[in-house]
Amino acid sequence: MGVDIDELAKRLETQVLEDAKEVFSETVIEYAYNPRNMGAIGDADGVGRVTGTCGDTVRIQIRVENGRISESRFMTDGCGTSIACGSMLTEMITDKTIEEALAITSDDLLRNLGGLPEENVHCSVLAVDTLRAAIDDYGSCVK
């Protein structure tokens, strides 16, 4: 009897998704499976790259126009949660002034994501630390 690999893969994917739903909010799953603003900006105004205690690295690039973040992109070699965090955070900072973006905390990010399990909270801290590094880099370029 042959095994339908596609069918098997689909069943496996459904199972993984069902398991994830027991742990993560709908928003986290949506933002992890359908990332927003993932990728790179060719000539960004500020770049932050931070490696967290988990060993994963997140990069955030920002473009600033008239004192506001007009565009941002993130990349991560980390977990699915870090993809959800990068997606949500880059959405949150769009059209924000530098001061407003700097005021965003990991608690704000967690709130927008509908929370994270305790063991994944550090992923949101890593995302916010990376944003601050990108803003720092932008600040040192315009001084």
Residues at the contact surface with ligand FES, assessed by CB under 6 A: 52, 54, 56, 78-79, 81-82, 123, 126
Between residues 30 and 56, which has the closer beta carbon with respect to ligand FES?
A: 56
* Among 36, 62, 30, CA closest to 47: 62
**Which of 54, 79, 85, 141 is flagged as catalytic?**
54
**Contact by Cβ (8 Å): 110, 24:** no
Between residues 56 and 108, which has the closer beta carbon with respect to ligand FES?
A: 56
Compute the least distance from the CB of residue 106 to ligand FES, in Å: 12
Q: Which residue has the tokens 């990991």?
A: 106
54 in active site: yes
**Residues, the chain, total?**
143
Reading the block at residue 62, the tokens are 């920002």
Between residues 64 and 126, which has the closer beta carbon with respect to ligand FES?
A: 126
* Phi and psi torsions of 38, nearest 5°: -90, 135
123 in active site: yes
Catalytic residues: 54, 123
